[in-house]
A and B are shown apart, each in its own frame.
Chain A
């Protein structure tokens, strides 16, 4: 499918009357297969809400969301749950790993919830952990992992059921610079493998990995930038090479 995600006129409001707040205000968004899209904006601009609605974690006030050929607003809770099992993988800022499960058990969870046999789930989990480079940490508890490692486990978990799209909400929000690089690398490899990604972030470094970038403020998209394509400057000038005057 060429456009796995199509959002039209999406709105989410909270409160009533004078206290009405439009967290997301009439947003249109289309994401192509294999594309990485970044949504940037200050805190409270509604980007997380937009992401949650796209993944069926939150119900919109109005508008339509087409995901994997299904209209999300027409689905009941069971339908949404099925979608989350098969078409969507989530990565959260707070990781949301289960504290008392090992890395492998955490990654197994979506497969088990989808009804796979324990053995198949275990197999898949080990595969994914290898893919994110954490094979030797498979039997560690989250408390024994660094922030970057935890987030990588979360990414592995999100990939468990071969989702159509991975939705990441501030994936590096709780990470330091080195861990951010790890996650950056991971997203890059996902992109190279053709995974569709929507990333919400206020870290420009993560946003810069995207093909397209949207800037959001007060519930609206105020800018769309295509990041692929040549730059006007060169790295040397940028790096201050002419300053190293001879």
Chain B
């Protein structure tokens, strides 16, 4: 095992020798790992909380909407809490008949309700106005769908319980005063349920209630509430809406719900009789709508982050290859086989990759609660499992693959090279490009220097081009997504009066985080590329200065050398970004950001590249040429 020890020590030495590069690599892979982990976590989150809520509230397998045409002054009521005494026996009988028919459907093992619902206008003390669907319930817990109170208490006369996301959007808490259909209520509690999708999808999405929207409030601005049966009846009468009831059904086989619902809705018994059924799977999907957008954002982001990370890794690995060659030669002269050489490189890369992956997972773990708090409607609390062992394993595997990939190419090259040639050239000797040399002779001095410095390391110039393309693509994709989000906000805003749309808000937050991560990664990428290039051209710069070029000309040349490959990269990045967004958005069409923003993105990136080169270039000119040239000889 002595061999392993030597390999380990060599790897550690190497990392310590060039800590800056190792750190950059670490950060790049960590960022990618964090985004990847979050994406995987998001995938797992969608169904989880809904299942939790369903279990905690004894959620229904099927929900039935019973719709009774234009309102009657005397509304039928059932049960002891009925406040109105006028009721036509006809309506009550019809209702009882429908309820019985549903109870006796094949596969139904139990039911609760029918509960009357009142569709009314709700106003709050802080001036918000929205639509509410108030379900009249018993104070005693129900066998199916007993909403779980997360703060405050259950209903009482004059006390209303609001659905959690709705309460958040309205800006009310336990004890706040609201009015429903003109009647004053106090918020007795806040609860979650699995029987209906949370605000704003209550009336908006498939799986919610199908018959709201008669008021002058947009369907996105409706939320669920629970009141006593008497209060529901009062509110329904006051708002003058058609009679509506909800029933909750339990099935012997819950997985059968969709089949049963579609059979029922397509049969003669179906909606023509003003009864429609909704399966719990559809409700789950509607719940998930809140997350779906976030997932899109994260998946686009994850792809972009991964690509940028790969580009960074490639550039950094390319930079390390230069010293690697020399060290390979040395290792071989002291008896190391190509296997040893590869082992050392693999050890370094694996260590870096594993450390980065762990760091990324840790970050994801810390950040997950902020993001997996899905609209506050479902039971995603801080204690919910975020980064599972499975996710950690997946991310680690990806990191190891990256490490392997980064090792293979240099290892093969190193093995193939002869020892002597590896020792002889300290760095990869630049190839000659006669055409570029001849052309550059006709250019003014800064451009001459720039072209010559860029063509020295053509591969690195291409890599720069690629990473700038990816950066601009990322920016353009984010812009496109912002445009989309703006449209959504515009659509959502028509009609609603200042209610914050948690979907949009969450998306904007996600977008912001993603934009920041992307910018950070691309800045990192650009910095590492520019520093690496400037370091690489230190010797040339010193020589040019010794031959009579001014520091300003040399700095200008360095900047040119970076900007020239960046220009085509940035231009290619625009369509690439649109493509990426379109691919990640799936069904959505192409959202073109305004040309002004696109131009700004391209020019801004180029300016940033120039600015980032300026600092290391200027630092380089502060040293005397002699010291650089002397150092090269050592």
Q: Using Cβ atoms and an 8 Å threshold, which residues of chain A touch B550?
A: 77-78, 81-82
Contact B621 A100 (CB under 8 A): no
Binds A, one of B84-92, B253-261, B440-448, B567-575: B440-448
A115–B633 CA distance with the chains assembled, in angstroms? 29
Contact B548 A57 (CB under 8 A): no
Contact B548 A99 (CB under 8 A): no
Contact A105 B546 (CB under 8 A): no
A-B CB contacts (within 8 Å), total count:
84
What mask results when residues 53 to 79 of chain A are scored 1 for a CB within 8 Å of chain B, else 0?
Answer: 000011100000000000000000110
Contact A77 B621 (CB under 8 A): yes
Given contacts A52-B626, A112-B448, 9 further A-B contacts (CB under 8 A): A57-B546, A78-B550, A81-B550, A82-B550, A84-B545, A84-B546, A115-B445, A141-B432, A157-B547
Binds B, one of A25-33, A85-93, A187-195, A237-245: A85-93
- Is B543 an interface residue when CB atoms closer than 8 A count as contact? yes
Partner of B627, one of A58, A82, A94: A58
- Is A113 an interface residue when CB atoms closer than 8 A count as contact? yes
- Is B429 an interface residue when CB atoms closer than 8 A count as contact? yes
Output the nearest chain A residue to B433 by Cβ-Cβ distance: A100
Contact A113 B445 (CB under 8 A): yes
Q: Using Cβ atoms and an 8 Å threshold, which residues of chain B touch A114?
A: 548
- Is B586 an interface residue when CB atoms closer than 8 A count as contact? no
Residue among A86, A94, A112, A161 with the highest chain B CB neighbour number at 10 A = A112
Q: Using Cβ atoms and an 8 Å threshold, which residues of chain B touch A143?
A: 429
Partner of A78, one of B431, B432, B552: B552
A93–B455 CA distance with the chains assembled, in angstroms? 26
* Interchain nearest-CB distance for B257 vs A (Å): 72
Contact A96 B629 (CB under 8 A): yes
* Interchain nearest-CB distance for B47 vs A (Å): 60
Contact B456 A100 (CB under 8 A): yes
Residues of B in contact, count (CB < 8 Å): 33
Contact A161 B621 (CB under 8 A): no
**14 A-B pairs with C-beta separation under 8 A:** A49-B626, A58-B624, A58-B625, A58-B626, A81-B549, A81-B550, A82-B550, A84-B545, A85-B547, A96-B629, A101-B437, A113-B548, A114-B548, A161-B548
- Is B630 an interface residue when CB atoms closer than 8 A count as contact? yes
Contact B548 A85 (CB under 8 A): yes
Contact A94 B448 (CB under 8 A): no
* Interchain nearest-CB distance for A99 vs B (Å): 6
What mask results when residues 24 to 57 of chain A are scored 1 for a CB within 8 Å of chain B, else 0?
Answer: 0000000000000000000000001100100001
Contact A81 B551 (CB under 8 A): yes
- Is A98 an interface residue when CB atoms closer than 8 A count as contact? yes
A interface, size bucket: 35 or more
Contact A100 B432 (CB under 8 A): yes
Within 8 A of A (CB), among B601-634: 621, 624-627, 629-630, 632-633
Residue among B544, B546, B547 with the highest chain A CB neighbour number at 10 A = B547
Knowing A59-B624, A81-B545, A99-B429, say if A92 contacts B629 (CB, 8 Å). Answer: yes
Q: Using Cβ atoms and an 8 Å threshold, which residues of chain A touch B201?
A: none
Output the nearest chain A residue to B552 by Cβ-Cβ distance: A78
Knowing A93-B633, A100-B432, A100-B456, say if A84 contacts B548 (CB, 8 Å). Answer: yes
* Interchain nearest-CB distance for A173 vs B (Å): 9
The 6 closest A-B pairs by CB, nearest first: A85-B548, A52-B626, A57-B626, A81-B550, A118-B441, A84-B548
Output the nearest chain A residue to B429 by Cβ-Cβ distance: A99
Q: Using Cβ atoms and an 8 Å threshold, which residues of chain B touch A57?
A: 546, 624-626, 629
Contact B626 A113 (CB under 8 A): no
Q: Using Cβ atoms and an 8 Å threshold, which residues of chain B touch A82?
A: 548, 550
- Is A110 an interface residue when CB atoms closer than 8 A count as contact? yes
- Is B325 an interface residue when CB atoms closer than 8 A count as contact? no
Q: Using Cβ atoms and an 8 Å threshold, which residues of chain A touch B432?
A: 100-101, 141
A108–B438 CA distance with the chains assembled, in angstroms? 11
* Interchain nearest-CB distance for A112 vs B (Å): 6
A77–B542 CA distance with the chains assembled, in angstroms? 13
* Interchain nearest-CB distance for B545 vs A (Å): 7
A113–B444 CA distance with the chains assembled, in angstroms? 9
Contact B441 A121 (CB under 8 A): yes
A86–B549 CA distance with the chains assembled, in angstroms? 11
Chain A, interface SS category:
helix
Q: Using Cβ atoms and an 8 Å threshold, which residues of chain A touch B543?
A: 96, 98
Q: Using Cβ atoms and an 8 Å threshold, which residues of chain A touch B540?
A: 98
Partner of A84, one of B430, B547, B629, B632: B547
- Is A109 an interface residue when CB atoms closer than 8 A count as contact? yes
Partner of A108, one of B433, B441, B455, B626: B441
Within 8 A of A (CB), among B460-490: none
* Interchain nearest-CB distance for A38 vs B (Å): 20
Q: Using Cβ atoms and an 8 Å threshold, which residues of chain B touch A110?
A: 547-548
A3–B84 CA distance with the chains assembled, in angstroms? 121
Residue among B442, B552, B624 with the highest chain A CB neighbour number at 10 A = B624
Q: Using Cβ atoms and an 8 Å threshold, which residues of chain A touch B547?
A: 84-85, 90, 109-110, 113, 157
Q: Using Cβ atoms and an 8 Å threshold, which residues of chain B touch A58?
A: 624-627
A242–B448 CA distance with the chains assembled, in angstroms? 64
Output the nearest chain B residue to A109 by Cβ-Cβ distance: B547
Residue among A52, A108, A113 with the highest chain B CB neighbour number at 10 A = A113
Q: Using Cβ atoms and an 8 Å threshold, which residues of chain B touch A93?
A: 633
What mask results when residues 113 to 128 of chain A are scored 1 for a CB within 8 Å of chain B, else 0?
Answer: 1110010010000000
* Interchain nearest-CB distance for A175 vs B (Å): 15
Partner of B544, one of A78, A113, A121, A161: A113
Contact A105 B437 (CB under 8 A): yes
Q: Using Cβ atoms and an 8 Å threshold, which residues of chain A touch B621?
A: 77
Residue among A58, A85, A96, A101 with the highest chain B CB neighbour number at 10 A = A96
A109–B437 CA distance with the chains assembled, in angstroms? 11
A58–B624 CA distance with the chains assembled, in angstroms? 5
Q: Using Cβ atoms and an 8 Å threshold, which residues of chain A touch B624?
A: 52, 57-59
Q: Using Cβ atoms and an 8 Å threshold, which residues of chain A touch B429?
A: 99-100, 143
A91–B432 CA distance with the chains assembled, in angstroms? 24
A118–B445 CA distance with the chains assembled, in angstroms? 12
* Interchain nearest-CB distance for A131 vs B (Å): 19
Within 8 A of A (CB), among B1-47: none
Q: Using Cβ atoms and an 8 Å threshold, which residues of chain A touch B433?
A: 100
Output the nearest chain A residue to B633 by Cβ-Cβ distance: A94
* Interchain nearest-CB distance for A143 vs B (Å): 8
Q: Using Cβ atoms and an 8 Å threshold, which residues of chain B touch A99?
A: 429-430
Q: Using Cβ atoms and an 8 Å threshold, which residues of chain B touch A118?
A: 441-442
A49–B625 CA distance with the chains assembled, in angstroms? 12
A141–B456 CA distance with the chains assembled, in angstroms? 15
A197–B437 CA distance with the chains assembled, in angstroms? 32
Partner of A100, one of B431, B549, B551: B431
* Interchain nearest-CB distance for B621 vs A (Å): 7
Contact A112 B431 (CB under 8 A): no
A93–B552 CA distance with the chains assembled, in angstroms? 27
